[in-house]
Structure 1
Amino acid sequence: MSDPFSLAPQPETYWHLWTGADGISRQQQCTISDFTLGQLGPGDSPQFSRPLFDQGNAFVTYLPVGWTADWHENHVPKWIYVLRGAWSVQSMDGQIVTMRAGEYSFGGDQGCIATPEGHRGHLSAQVGDEPCVQLIIQRHDDAWRQAPPGTFR
């Protein structure tokens, strides 16, 4: 298998609804580009990302075909929405969930204990023959930390 990081991602298109100086709403097709390769948090596997504003609390990530991550926790709680492609998450209990475009999850596995095998948090991987593009929204405070299932109703 080739190196998944050998090619930078192509720009992603989206529709931007905006209001002009005349007060009339308009739509324009735009692109998100200038992805950079890096880590979202300490110990995370590298992936391409593009912050959507200076605070870095919302960004688009690009998981190339073949991308995988070792066992890790989400360093902060986050919502992960699949825009294109698919990815999988395996929790410590062995369950594997595959999410495709239009599906989303909440990553709130902070504070896990390590198993005797050294597993902590979750495994994640890109699935299929096209890259997985995700919109990630996270907070840099403790408001979502340790939120039990059903918190967000």
Structure 2
Amino acid sequence: MVLALPLFLAKTAFAENRAPVSFAYWHVWTDLQGVSHQKKCEIRNFVLESIEPPAAPQWLSRLKTEGASVVISVLPVGWIGIWHENPKPQWIIPISGRWYVQTMDGQRVEMGPGDVSFGEDQNTKPDANGHKGHLSATVGNEPCVLMMIQLKNSPTVNQPCRFD
């Protein structure tokens, strides 16, 4: 059902010739004190246009980036990472399985297929326990396959939902 609802909304919007309501994602970001947080954000700036003529028009939202590389990661069952920052600002898309991300403020978000996270917790400062960035781990009895799109852009600070 998690995947079905966004697809239904997108099909309905296209049929009615209007933009989808929004595209939701989690933004892992750093505040001015160097503490990481997570905020649920929405991209709403869709435009009906061809991705490349003569292709038929579709609803597009183009995010400005300076280039990217794609990484596929397979986290085994029972995998628990250590506290760390994202290596670069990156989109993280679970393809299969489930995982969670816990930020320094204590918030823990579990994600699976259909969810999207934008990891931008660079420039954090160690807390009293030496934790920096975020902690992540697999959930359940199957590996978690993640696709990461790592951007060459410099990370921002104190700008949650910066793509909205």
Fold match by TM threshold 0.5 = yes
Runs of 4+ in 1 over 3 A off after TM superposition: 144-147
Q: Percent identity?
A: 46
Q: CA contact under 8 A between 1:108 and 1:147: conserved in structure 2?
A: no
**Where in structure 1 are there 5+ consecutive unaligned residues?**
1-54
Measure how far apart 1:56 and its partner are.
Answer: 7.6
Residue 95, structure 1, aligned to residue 103, structure 2 = no
Residue 59, structure 1, aligned to residue 71, structure 2 = yes
Q: CA contact under 8 A between 1:73 and 1:109: conserved in structure 2?
A: yes
Q: CA contact under 8 A between 1:60 and 1:134: conserved in structure 2?
A: yes
Q: Which has the higher helix share?
A: 2
Q: 1:135 to 1:147 in 2, by over 3 A?
A: farther
Q: CA contact under 8 A between 1:82 and 1:99: conserved in structure 2?
A: yes
Measure how far apart 1:116 and its partner are.
Answer: 1.6
Q: Which has the higher strand share?
A: 1
SS state at 2:82 partner: strand
**1:138 partner amino acid:** Q
With the length of structure 2 as denominator, give the TM-score of the two structures. Answer: 0.56
RMSD: 1.7
Residue 106, structure 1, aligned to residue 109, structure 2 = no
Deviations 1:1-41 (A, max 9, x none): xxxxxxxxxxxxxxxxxxxxxxxxxxxxxxxxxxxxxxxxx
Q: 1:99 to 1:79 in 2, by over 3 A?
A: same
**2:93 partner amino acid:** Y
**1:115 is matched with which residue: 106, 127, 134?**
127
SS state at 2:81 partner: strand
SS state at 1:71 partner: coil
Alignment-derived partner of residue 89 in structure 2: 77
Distance 1:109 1:64 in 2: 24
How many residues are aligned here?
98
Distance 1:59 1:72 in 2: 18
Alignment-derived partner of residue 163 in structure 2: 152
Higher RCO (C-alpha 8 Å, min separation 6): 2
With the length of structure 1 as denominator, give the TM-score of the two structures. Answer: 0.59
Deviations 1:46-75 (A, max 9, x none): xxxxxxxxx981121111101111111112
Alignment-derived partner of residue 149 in structure 2: 137
Measure how far apart 1:148 and its partner are.
Answer: 1.7
Measure how far apart 1:100 and its partner are.
Answer: 1.0
Q: CA contact under 8 A between 2:89 and 2:153: conserved in structure 1?
A: no
